């Protein structure tokens, strides 16, 4: 992730509270338009780092640049460039959602007509129209989270910081929320996000893992799988009732021998073959796809290492 | 456990309203014996209300409402003293230390000093809180707070333990520890737990799926997976988001979503043209090259999404019928 020029850059970031070192010599680089997962255990230094990146907490040492702005020297100036949403969405309880929008729009200095256009588009996309006149206390958690996302992007920030945006949100609303985050990233917004739902790391382009204030992993999700799991397992078999099941079985066996010669782990069983691979390389996927195209009776089952297990392995290695 | 009756919950037509708002619309639930029962469903479905009703915190209406042999419609003072409850919002004293909180709960349970010590020590050891006995509770991490809440709830050796999202916002290691504690006890204790984590839903012995104040499905995780009328496919390729978009255009696809490496494609079991045809169609998506398509068993994520969709479809049908 060294190229292109990062939109978030932190060098040697350190924060002490008395003798306690909450964040310890952290270096981060985030490329524009990426969805960047920042993960770690409770108390590992995630929130302290985010508070420094958004300019509300001064580091003990280090440098921070967000969207070209030196955050330590100009903590106020960076706020026009970023949006922030915490786990507890900050909506004024006494105001309706629409009144909250007007209030936040004013804070961000968004002009009236611009705000009306922007909110119109957001409300449509995030399905918030019917909630406009509701007070936040009456909104279900999922709607409240979507409203929080809308408010944090009212001023079209270039970088969005989301601190556990899906905590306590049900599976349906989490799925919806991630589609919206991906849409934001597609428009060029950089998303910096923390979560304890580790399967959500798969929606991200890049993952950093922090433990006791130190960075212990900094890689794409697939790279983490490669390093911290026993790899993918694939099962290839002929569908029992397929018209070409005999030919399919023979083709599977031939492919097994070929893959074995290329150094892949292959086990032959009565029901087909099992492969293990540290990663699903495009070439292997293509080979399997072609096999399936030529022999429709071929069934492939992929067992992907779960991100939750990858993290367990990562943590046990970093602590033990 | 000889001579002790099985922990049991029997609810029929359990109803609860808060003013104009109906939270529970007639819940039927029968569970007997030690096990972990997961209460799942969308936000606002009534999960917290159901759990609060079961621990005797709410005035409810019901045709039958028996928990550990106590009628929820009558005096529940004794019931409250024999169950453990961990509410969604952390409810211990933040300004007291870990040990002081345990002492307060011990006193409420009328444990004398020696008995309290004998029960608290193994719980502190088991939860890893022993070195933090003198730490102020408010200064504990999120995971430690929840472990303390569970230790306090277990202090009375309850036969029923009710936990409302005890792992929300808790990291994976602390979650693992919490679940190890629950798993150790699930042969002696009936555990009722609500959670949003898919992994935890799968770890339950039995699930109750709530939607809009009704229990619309109950069964083991496997039974619920088998029950939803779905087929699940995965399509692997360079651009999973484009694949998901293109897959949504297939007439029998009811949902498609991209992860980093593949698109999950859900197909209606009523409309599927068969596995072979679906695989071929996915392999030939317009403008979204799929390297490999596979048919895969329906998982918990798709099951919960399908139940949510099914419930809203049923609501729409009812509304239409009424209209």
Interface A-B: count of C-beta contacts within 8 A? 134
The answer to whether residue A56 sits within a structural domain is: yes
Per-residue pLDDT, B89: 86
Chain A residue whose CA is closest to B277: A296
Question: Which residues contact residue B112 at a Cβ distance below 8 angstroms, ignoring those fewer than 6 apart?
Answer: none
Distance CA A63, CA B15 (A): 58
CB contact under 8 A, A299 and B259: no
DSSP letter at B318? H
pLDDT per position as a tens digit, A84-132: 998 777 889 899 999 999 999 998 889 999 999 999 999 998 889 999 9
Q: Looking at per-residue confidence, does A46 or A138 come out higher?
A: A46
Q: Which domains does chain B have, with CATH numbers?
A: 8-225 (3.40.50.300), 229-297 (3.30.70.100)
Reference A64, options A49, A53, A50, A79; nearest CA is: A53
- A194 with A153, same domain: the answer is yes
B2: confidence class by pLDDT, cuts 50, 70, 90? low
Which segment of A256-270, B37-51, B264-278 scores lowest on mean pLDDT? A256-270
Per-residue pLDDT, B322: 46
Q: How far off is chain A from B71, nearest CA to CA, in Å? A: 31
The answer to whether residue A313 sits within a structural domain is: no
Per-residue pLDDT, A319: 65
- A36 with A171, same domain: the answer is yes
Whose tokens are 């609501």? That residue is B315
- Evaluate if residue A318 carries a pLDDT over 80: no
Q: Identify the bridge partners of residue A29 per DSSP, sorted by sequence position.
A: A9
The answer to whether residue A314 sits within a structural domain is: no
Q: How far off is chain B from A312, nearest CA to CA, in Å? A: 7
- Evaluate if residue B123 carries a pLDDT over 90: yes
Tell me which residues of chain A, numbers 251 to 280, contact chain B at a CB-CB cutoff of 8 Å. 280
The answer to whether residue A50 sits within a structural domain is: yes
Q: What are phi and psi of A195, to 5 degrees?
A: -160, 155
B313: confidence class by pLDDT, cuts 50, 70, 90? low
Helices (H), B73-164: 77-82, 98-108, 113-127, 142-154
The answer to whether residue A187 sits within a structural domain is: yes
Average the pLDDT over A1-17 and give the result.
87
Distance CA A253, CA A276 (A): 15
pLDDT per position as a tens digit, A287-296: 999 999 999 8
The answer to whether residue A84 sits within a structural domain is: yes
Q: How many domains does chain A have?
A: 2
pLDDT per position as a tens digit, B57-91: 999 999 999 999 999 999 999 999 899 999 988 88
CB contact under 8 A, B283 and A293: yes
Residues in chain A: 320
Chain B residue whose CA is closest to A237: B294
Counts of helices then strands in chain B (DSSP H, E): 11, 14
- A214 with A261, same domain: the answer is no
Q: Which of A226, A260, A295 is the C-terminal boundary of a domain?
A: A226
Q: Identify the bridge partners of residue B150 per DSSP, sorted by sequence position.
A: none
Q: Helix, strand, or coil here: A286?
A: helix
Chain B residue whose CA is closest to A43: B141
CB nearest A171 (choices: B169, B172, B305)? B305
* Distance between start and end Cα atoms, chain B: 55
Q: How far off is chain B from A234, nearest CA to CA, in Å? A: 11
Residue B295 forms contact with A (CB below 8 Å):
yes
Give the ipTM.
0.85
Per-residue pLDDT, B312: 62
- A177 with A104, same domain: the answer is yes
Contacts of A175 in chain B (CB under 8 A): 257, 301, 305
For B289, other C-beta atoms within 10 Å of its C-beta total: 16
The answer to whether residue A68 sits within a structural domain is: yes
- A248 with A178, same domain: the answer is no
pLDDT per position as a tens digit, B22-38: 999 999 999 999 999 99
- Evaluate if residue B320 carries a pLDDT over 60: no
Tell me which residues of chain B, numbers 98 to 157, contact chain A at a CB-CB cutoff of 8 Å. 141-144
Give CA torsion, residues A115, A117, A118, A123, to 10 deg.
110
DSSP letter at A33? T
CB A146 within 8 A of CB A126: yes
The answer to whether residue A319 sits within a structural domain is: no
pLDDT per position as a tens digit, A243-263: 888 899 999 999 999 999 988
Q: Give the pairing type, strands B214-219 and B206-211.
A: antiparallel
Average the pLDDT over B188-213 and give the result.
96
Domain that holds residue A262: 230-304
- A200 with A250, same domain: the answer is no
- A169 with A264, same domain: the answer is no
Distance CA B10, CA B30 (A): 5
Per-residue pLDDT, A83: 94
Average the pLDDT over A48-77 and give the result.
95
The structure's pTM equals: 0.89
Q: Identify the bridge partners of residue B219 per DSSP, sorted by sequence position.
A: B207
CB nearest A173 (choices: B43, B143, B291)? B43
Residue A226 forms contact with B (CB below 8 Å):
no
- Evaluate if residue A271 carries a pLDDT over 90: no
Whose tokens are 């991100």? That residue is A307
Per-residue pLDDT, A1: 47
Residues in chain B: 323
- A40 with A168, same domain: the answer is yes
- A284 with A140, same domain: the answer is no
Per-residue pLDDT, B323: 41
A241: confidence class by pLDDT, cuts 50, 70, 90? confident
User: Which CATH number belongs to the domain containing residue A32 in this structure?
Assistant: 3.40.50.300
- Evaluate if residue B311 carries a pLDDT over 80: no
B319: confidence class by pLDDT, cuts 50, 70, 90? very low
User: Which CATH number belongs to the domain containing residue A280 in this structure?
Assistant: 3.30.70
- A67 with A216, same domain: the answer is yes
- A140 with A264, same domain: the answer is no
- Chain centroid to Cα B90, Å, comes to 18
Q: Which of A192, A226, A260 is the C-terminal boundary of a domain?
A: A226
- A209 with A261, same domain: the answer is no
Distance CA B46, CA B27 (A): 10
| Mean pLDDT for chain A overall | 91
Reference B266, options B230, B237, B297; nearest CA is: B230
């Amino acid at each position: 992730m060294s190229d292109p020029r990062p939109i978030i850059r932190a060098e040697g970031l350190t924060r002490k509270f008395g003798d306690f070192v909450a964040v310890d010599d952290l270096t981060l680089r985030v490329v524009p338009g990426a969805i960047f997962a920042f993960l770690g255990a409770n108390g590992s230094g995630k929130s302290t780092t985010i508070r420094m990146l958004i300019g509300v907490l001064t580091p003990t040492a280090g440098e921070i640049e967000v969207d070209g702005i030196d955050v330590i020297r100009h903590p106020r100036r960076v706020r026009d460039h970023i949006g922030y949403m915490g786990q507890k969405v900050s909506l004024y309880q006494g105001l309706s959602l629409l009144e909250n929008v007007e209030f936040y729009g004013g804070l961000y200095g968004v002009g009236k007509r611009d705000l009306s256009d922007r909110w119109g588009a957001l409300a449509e996309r995030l399905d918030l129209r019917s909630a406009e006149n509701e007070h936040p206390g009456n909104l279900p958690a999922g709607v409240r989270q979507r409203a929080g996302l809308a408010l944090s992007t009212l001023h079209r920030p270039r970088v969005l910081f989301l601190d556990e945006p899906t905590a306590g949100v049900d599976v349906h609303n989490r799925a919806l929320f991630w589609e919206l985050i991906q849409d934001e990233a597609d428009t060029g917004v950089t998303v910096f996000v923390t979560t304890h739902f580790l399967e959500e790391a798969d929606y991200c382009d890049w993952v950093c893992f922090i433990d006791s204030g130190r960075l212990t992993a900094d890689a794409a999700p697939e790279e983490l799988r490669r390093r911290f799991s026993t790899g993918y397992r694939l099962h290839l078999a002929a569908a029992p009732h397929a018209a070409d099941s005999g030919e399919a079985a023979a083709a599977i066996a031939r492919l097994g021998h070929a893959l074995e010669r290329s150094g892949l782990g292959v086990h032959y069983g009565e029901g087909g073959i099992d492969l293990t691979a540290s990663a699903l390389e495009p070439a292997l996927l293509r080979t399997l796809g072609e096999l399936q195209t030529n022999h429709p009776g071929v069934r492939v089952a992929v067992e992907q290492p779960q991100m939750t297990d990858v993290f367990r392995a990562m943590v046990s290695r970093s602590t033990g | 456990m000889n001579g002790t009756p099985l922990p049991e919950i029997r609810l029929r037509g359990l109803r609860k309203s808060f003013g104009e708002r109906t939270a529970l619309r007639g819940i039927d639930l029968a569970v007997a014996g030690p096990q972990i029962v997961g209460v799942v469903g969308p936000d606002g479905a009534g999960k917290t209300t159901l759990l609060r009703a079961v621990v005797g915190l709410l005035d409810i209406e019901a045709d039958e409402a028996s928990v550990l042999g106590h009628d929820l419609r009558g005096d529940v003072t004794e019931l409250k003293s024999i169950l453990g409850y961990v509410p969604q919002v952390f409810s211990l004293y933040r300004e007291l230390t870990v040990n002081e909180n345990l002492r307060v709960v011990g006193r409420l349970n009328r444990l004398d000093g020696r008995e309290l010590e004998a029960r608290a020590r193994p719980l502190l050891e088991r939860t890893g809180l022993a070195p933090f006995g003198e730490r102020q509770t408010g200064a504990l991490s999120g995971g430690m707070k929840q472990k303390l809440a569970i230790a306090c709830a277990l202090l009375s050796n309850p036969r029923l333990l009710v936990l409302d999202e005890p792992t929300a916002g808790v990291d994976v290691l602390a979650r693992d520890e919490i679940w190890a504690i629950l798993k150790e006890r699930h042969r002696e204790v009936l555990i009722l737990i609500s959670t949003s984590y898919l992994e935890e839903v799968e770890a339950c012995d039995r699930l109750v799926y709530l939607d809009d104040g009704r229990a619309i499905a109950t069964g083991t995780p496997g039974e619920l997976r088998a029950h939803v009328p779905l087929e699940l496919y995965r399509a692997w390729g360079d651009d999973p988001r484009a694949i998901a978009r293109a897959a949504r255009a297939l007439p029998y696809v009811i949902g498609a979503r991209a992860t980093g490496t593949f698109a999950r494609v859900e197909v209606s079991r009523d409309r599927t043209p068969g596995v072979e045809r679906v695989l071929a169609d996915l392999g030939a998506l317009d403008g979204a090259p799929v390297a490999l398509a596979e048919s895969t068993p329906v998982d918990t994520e798709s099951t919960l999404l399908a139940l949510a969709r099914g419930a809203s479809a049923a609501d729409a049908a009812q509304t239409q019928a009424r209209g």
